[in-house]
Structure 1
């Protein structure tokens, strides 16, 4: 038998009409103890009832929210008509959320089990739609969210910051949702409707809003019974079938839910008498030793507790840490999948005035300062990847003539758009360099030790072309010097100029490395395959050139994370992280990242050891077009224990 944590105790709280998460363990074969125990008489008036970690109770009756001792004596009350009571652990005891019946305001309370107080907190702003249900969710950063679910499916997700809330995103959910509960460990929101059944929805706002149908309405259910009650388990969901008095359980396995054996909701000696009677009042809670289900017996009309035995489930193997972003850029001017790849230009005399370039696949090239403010928009068409090299000297140019250059793949004409960057950071398009590719895609630059500049550009069919950039008589041109091919689609790449090696991301297969020298054969060696740590698609690649160490950073798009590897054999994985919310700065986390870039240069007092820039696939807090996020390198190095 597993001993549950304080948080697990509170996650087991279940309301009259809506069932909350059960425990941190789910059993393939739970059993109900036969020795049901009636609760104290004073609790029998409850319409919704949850157990608190000190053994006491939080209950809603017709006109009050009440805090009760374990023996049923009252400690505190707040007059109100409310419903949809849900709680999470709190340092003072519990954090509770309920929906006021008359005003439809979501009201939070801190339940201080030490002093016996119900401490009202500022309410959420009333949404511009009729509320049908609400429930809590606690994310991986241990930040509390509230889902406000509208009658017609229009819904909102808010995140708690201090004593207030910020709108995180708007959602389109199935209409007529009566009940909702969240599994915090799997980041899944469960909702229940009478018409379409029980659905699972991604509770993590950084994920795409997926909907999975878990169970359709059962033919035996009477239409008057309404939506089925749901219990969010750790790793699954249980659905209360009021007609047959059964608990139908589903175990979450990725994006699938496995049906497990159903369990009766009552003692055998009562089952025949109540088989055809709806269980309208049912709640779950926990004791300190094991979870309980609390229900109102249809014969005795008394609230009773039944112990449940649960087996321990394996925990998920997510070893990533969560790091908040420090700065975000202005959003791009197009909705949808627009922003893609960043690059960093370092100011030659005033690093705090450095620039970040970013591509907009629907518009052109964007230029930002280190505070994230957009300074320029170059309407160059559908750009995909961009890269920069500075202080480039060409063989046939004047001895004093050096260039800071940015190049980007241009998907309208399958060319390389070449830009010059002035000493003040002003960016200008200079020319287009043609390629023979049909679906130009990814790209990166290479500065050989002998001088000059070369470009690696790929096609969606796996072809790579290596071009030498030339500057003759005041004009830029290019010459194809090498070609090779991957089996499937690549995109991201980055070149280690010092060691003349190119790292290549093959989206579905992994990371490869080969020589960047055009005179050498392109013999590909696998650095890291797609698997448990690196989840397809493999997207942006970047190199951090420290004083002692060089690191390869990779966007693992399939699980919204970033990997840091040693950039030399055997390419040891040094850590994995995600980018979470920074509520004090009003910055959301990141997800489905395409391009990334990193610099070890001093970029002013705020970024003394450089920074990482990532594209964000879903802009939240609130919703909007995509943008880019900046993260201080010191934070990454500290959390992953990296040396300079």
Structure 2
């Protein structure tokens, strides 16, 4: 395997030799047969064995409870008086989850993952900030998977596959730090790697420690608060790594005297268990190492989508921006529009079922306004930015059926058209505000007196860098625009007024670049500006009036009962405060999902009841 110069440099930095001292070890339960073990507490151990199954043991090795079978690999998570146990059932060749009641000393009913089409070498558990429980499978030839298996202390009736994960081809061991949401996996002849563990995270890896030395080997590891204990079977050493935020630094190393082939490892506090594969015996010791605890990032509240749209019909980064068309007489017949920037415009019902697909080209952003005079007809209007023609694509919406039809096109001089939003003052005329990647904004008055759409350029202004999202507050004649790496601005929406920019919020601790979709929730009680903070997969809620007070941020997490994954890397979003019936009685939030999981499919849009946002942020 080739290792890049960057990784080799990091390997030299992170794996600098440290003076190794001997770790005092004593045999533990010499007659015990175990392939894997876990230190549960100062008084209890758990082992997995091919002959004795899963065994709960006291500190001296006396059996307290047993679950018969042929098992290897082991990981646990405490949940009150319950211990959630993950192992590999060798007879069935399946991963298994089982509850252990630590107080009653009894095992529960096993939950088996479906048989995989590859050999599973190892597994590990992960609990996220919302108490969802996942298991990672480490397989041969670089195959890895993440499965949702429970919440809190409760296991699901049926596990759900969340995503596949490309792992090193020779990986056997994994561990997850629930605090920093990092999955660590070994690559036998290379070192250890860290991956983001959250199901909505981008698939990427960073080195924990790498080496280019045939006398080294990356084996089992145990994550401890603030760091990791990693086993090198060839040198019979433990390496202690401190996690410093963006990198891992080796603090010291310990030699395991008398062990010829150390293989398995478990650490809980200062207690350590290690197995010598040469004689099959277990040894215990005290790890006198105090790492500096890692400060966890803020835990944002989560809401769940109760519906999701059918996936778009193109691979890759395709879905982009939604809009909500509200039926004037029957709100339950409203539509969610969405752009596929590799194909055209899509229309869904409120359950997310695809109703229409207009293949008109690479549409990026879309917005909707009612009561447009198309010749002698009165229709509702959808307008999208067309990146094929650097134009505005217009669509009529039948006010009874909701059917969309192409209504025409307005050319623009923009070199790379990007975002668009509509503005409709009390006079009823409709304006389209389009922007280009160079920061230019063009405002057009739209009309179609003879049935042919046309756009009159009435204003032009510019920001310093790339914009995209924008939304108009028709009542207050205010336009909000997003400058992706800078923040959000407010400007007068009226065409005959100067385009003086007023800062609403800048990129910083709360708003993470890229600034993407913008939307307004407008009700009789309060108006809010909702922003897609793409850099940390969250959504920020502000007052829509000065001084634009912030009410906090939230994330869209997974909905296990409905089988709907969360949302991440969101481009566009839209919201309405109108009662659309059912779960949408207090309005609806629609967000684009940049990483479709559970199952992995092309991108789509998630539909969230606004009542969930009100609850999560405790909005007034």
- State whether TM-score is above 0.5: yes
1:118-176 deviation per Cα after TM superposition (whole angstroms, max 9, x unaligned) = 22412110111122222212222211111222211122211114233011112222212
The structure 2 residue matched to 1:559, chosen from 517, 529, 536, is 536
Q: Which runs of 5+ in 1 are unaligned?
A: 1-29
Q: Could you tell me which residue of structure 2 aligns to residue 98 of structure 1?
A: 87
Over 3 Å counting, the alpha-carbon distance change for 1:217 and 1:178 in structure 2 is farther
- Say yes or no: does 1:133 pair with 2:109: no
TM-score normalised by L of structure 2: 0.90
**Partners of 2:614 and 2:19 in 1: CA distance:** 48
Matched pairs, number: 595
**Partners of 1:321 and 1:498 in 2: CA distance:** 31
1:535-554 deviation per Cα after TM superposition (whole angstroms, max 9, x unaligned) = 11110000000212110100
**Partners of 1:49 and 1:636 in 2: CA distance:** 43
Q: Could you tell me which residue of structure 1 aligns to residue 248 of structure 2?
A: 258
TM-score normalised by L of structure 1: 0.87
1:564-600 deviation per Cα after TM superposition (whole angstroms, max 9, x unaligned) = 0111112111011111110111100011000000000
Deviation at 1:514, TM superposition (A): 1.0
**Partners of 2:358 and 2:469 in 1: CA distance:** 23
**Partners of 2:41 and 2:568 in 1: CA distance:** 35
Cα contact 1:183–1:236 (8 A) shared by 2: no
Q: Could you tell me which residue of structure 2 aligns to residue 59 of structure 1?
A: 47
**Partners of 1:487 and 1:82 in 2: CA distance:** 61
- 3-state secondary structure, aligned to 2:371: strand
Q: Could you tell me which residue of structure 2 aligns to residue 470 of structure 1?
A: 447
Cα contact 1:408–1:416 (8 A) shared by 2: yes
Q: Could you tell me which residue of structure 2 aligns to residue 25 of structure 1?
A: none
Q: Could you tell me which residue of structure 1 aligns to residue 270 of structure 2?
A: 291
Cα contact 1:408–1:417 (8 A) shared by 2: yes
- Say yes or no: does 1:280 pair with 2:246: no
Over 3 Å counting, the alpha-carbon distance change for 1:217 and 1:317 in structure 2 is closer
Q: Could you tell me which residue of structure 2 aligns to residue 50 of structure 1?
A: 38
The structure 1 residue matched to 2:112, chosen from 98, 123, 130, is 123
Cα contact 1:496–1:543 (8 A) shared by 2: yes
**Partners of 2:67 and 2:332 in 1: CA distance:** 54
- 3-state secondary structure, aligned to 2:613: helix
- 3-state secondary structure, aligned to 1:163: strand
Cα contact 1:199–1:213 (8 A) shared by 2: yes
Q: Could you tell me which residue of structure 1 aligns to residue 175 of structure 2?
A: 181
Q: How do 1:483-502 residues align onto structure 2 when only pairs under 5 Å count? A: 483-502=460-479
Q: Could you tell me which residue of structure 2 aligns to residue 373 of structure 1?
A: 353
Q: Could you tell me which residue of structure 2 aligns to residue 547 of structure 1?
A: 524
Q: Could you tell me which residue of structure 2 aligns to residue 248 of structure 1?
A: 239
Cα contact 1:84–1:98 (8 A) shared by 2: yes
Bigger relative CO (Cα 8 Å, ≥ 6 apart): 1
1:315-368 deviation per Cα after TM superposition (whole angstroms, max 9, x unaligned) = 223241011111001111111111100000111111111100000011110000
Q: How do 1:31-50 residues align onto structure 2 when only pairs under 5 Å count? A: 38=26, 41=29, 44-50=32-38
- 3-state secondary structure, aligned to 1:585: coil
Deviation at 1:449, TM superposition (A): 2.4
**Partners of 1:130 and 1:47 in 2: CA distance:** 17
Q: Could you tell me which residue of structure 1 aligns to residue 3 of structure 2?
A: none
Deviation at 1:102, TM superposition (A): 4.1
Over 3 Å counting, the alpha-carbon distance change for 1:236 and 1:497 in structure 2 is farther
**Partners of 1:84 and 1:451 in 2: CA distance:** 67
Deviation at 1:211, TM superposition (A): 1.9
Deviation at 1:229, TM superposition (A): 2.2
- 3-state secondary structure, aligned to 2:184: strand
Q: How do 1:22-37 residues align onto structure 2 when only pairs under 5 Å count? A: none
Over 3 Å counting, the alpha-carbon distance change for 1:417 and 1:228 in structure 2 is same
- 3-state secondary structure, aligned to 1:172: coil
- 3-state secondary structure, aligned to 2:247: strand
Cα contact 2:32–2:61 (8 A) shared by 1: no
**Partners of 1:60 and 1:474 in 2: CA distance:** 76
**Partners of 1:383 and 1:540 in 2: CA distance:** 15
The structure 1 residue matched to 2:614, chosen from 632, 637, 641, is 637
